[in-house]
Amino acid sequence: MSNAQQPCLQTVPGGKGKRTRHVLTALVALPQLGVAQRTVLLNWLKSDARERRWQSLLEAAGAHHLDTANALLDALLTAGAVAVKEEFWHGLWRPVRMVWLDLEAVQRLANVATRSERDASKENLTTQLQALGHAHPWLAQAVHSLMNDSLSAATRAARADLLQALVPWQQAQRQGLRQDFSLAARDHTKAITAAEWDWLDSTLPLESLGVGRFEPMLWLGGAMTLRKSADGHEAVMALQGFGFAGLPCRQFCAPLAVTVHPQSYWLIENRASFERQTQKLAPGVCLVWLPGRPSGAWLGAMRWLLAQAPVPATISCDPDPAGIQIALTAGQLWGDAGVAWQAGHMEPRHWQDGKTLPLTDYDHRVLAELQACDALPPALGTLRDYIRSSGTKAEQEGWL
């Protein structure tokens, strides 16, 4: 920095070998800055500290921009943006600390969000998220995760936009792959990042919302034979000979037909448990993988299969609040068809002495919803009450 007193600058002594310099006029506009100077300024404005050590500002500018930083300090001082605290050292006055005279004014002039603006934006986003979760309870877990203060404002806003985009998608009962939803939400099939997909997958039943990773499939095995005749060709699949197999949900319609009917169905939510049980199925049982909160495509395929072979079912889900809801969703298919179903392998005696997990806030919200459910089958009602009283849940893979 030049040692010469510049016009309009006021020097205030601060003790032996110390002084503070600033201009008497208030900041009206930022000085004309080059590209490098503006880059350094934006770097400095990332902090909301009103007073900064000059050495830390030099470090923030980088070793290749020391001259740029000094020139920028002179320009900001002359424009009335800062005051500079200096010390006399080895015959020269050297800057020690820089003080923003009106930090938020500088930030606004540089098109940088101020703390006040960020706080207001955060409060507004929180209000929007609360309203979103209240209007659409199925978003509650995802909304709750966005209340986490450790997330950056940009991350929270971007993820909140994805939840907003899911609402019309779900209301229109759209079905598609992840690329389709990305196109609908952000106008590009690859615009949603891997981290965002991981978050969506961990907080929402994407498949049941019609957002599939791949084409929706129905996985089943055991006592059932399917036949398909088309274009003069006939294909027969005896599931028992394959262990288990997956077919696209769209295939479960004419001309597909069930030629060997099972005596009963067994639906299992956990994929590892499903595969394990296909190896030791009792005769006459058709085993079906129930993919969490099932999608509309899966429900349609299962509804068609049940119409072709209307036999009773046992439904086994994780013994947790969401598992009870999933069992009810699948069981509704049998209820609509007038065929018996029951929950099985979910009773506390199977898991209460093994590895359990504590209930989350989301679990408690689902329990409250289940408490208001009058049509809960007795076995699931007993399970609900035990989960609530014990405060624990489990994953069926541990015993099934």
Paired tokens of 132: 């979103």
How confident is the model at residue 4, as a pLDDT?
Answer: 45
Q: Is the dihedral of CA 271, 274, 276, 278 positive or negative?
A: negative
9-109 to CATH, choices 1.10.10, 1.10.3470, 3.30.470, 1.10.3210:
1.10.10
Q: Which residue has the tokens 């929402």?
A: 204
| Residue 53 dihedral angles phi and psi, to the nearest 5° | -70, 135
* pLDDT values of the chain reduced to their tens digit, one per residue, 400 residues: 444 445 578 888 888 899 999 998 888 899 999 999 999 999 999 898 999 999 999 998 888 889 999 999 999 999 999 999 999 998 899 999 999 999 999 999 999 988 888 888 888 888 999 999 888 889 999 999 998 768 888 899 999 999 999 999 888 778 788 998 999 999 998 999 999 999 999 999 898 888 988 888 999 999 999 999 877 788 999 998 888 999 999 999 999 999 999 999 999 999 999 999 999 999 999 999 998 778 788 999 999 999 999 999 999 999 999 899 999 999 999 999 999 999 999 999 999 988 999 998 778 988 998 988 877 999 999 999 999 999 999 999 888 8
Residues 6+ apart with CB under 8 A from 227: 234, 235, 236, 237, 256, 257, 258, 259
Question: What is the total residue count of the chain?
Answer: 400
Nearest to 208 by CA among 252, 170, 180: 170
Distance CA 226, CA 237 (A): 5
Nearest to 286 by CA among 244, 339, 329: 244
Q: Find the farthest-apart pair of alpha carbons in the chain and give their distance in angstroms, rounded.
A: 103
Q: Where in the chain is the domain with CATH 1.10.10?
A: 9-109
How confident is the model at residue 328, as a pLDDT?
Answer: 94
Query: Is-contact 334 374, C-beta < 8 A?
Result: no
Distance CA 146, CA 196 (A): 12
Coarse DSSP helix, strand, coil percentages of the chain, rounded to the nearest 5 percent: 50, 20, 30
Distance CA 394, CA 153 (A): 34
DSSP letter for each residue of 144-177: HHHT-TTS-HHHHHHHHHHHHHHHHHHHTT--EE
Distance CA 363, CA 358 (A): 9
How confident is the model at residue 214, as a pLDDT?
Answer: 83
375-390 burial code (b ≥16 CB/10 A, e <16):
ebbeebbebbebbbee
How confident is the model at residue 102, as a pLDDT?
Answer: 92
Q: Where in the chain is the domain with CATH 3.40.1360.10?
A: 261-398
How confident is the model at residue 149, as a pLDDT?
Answer: 66
The CATH-assigned architecture of domain 261-398 is 3-Layer(aba) Sandwich (3.40)
Q: Which helix (H) or strand (E) holds 190?
A: none
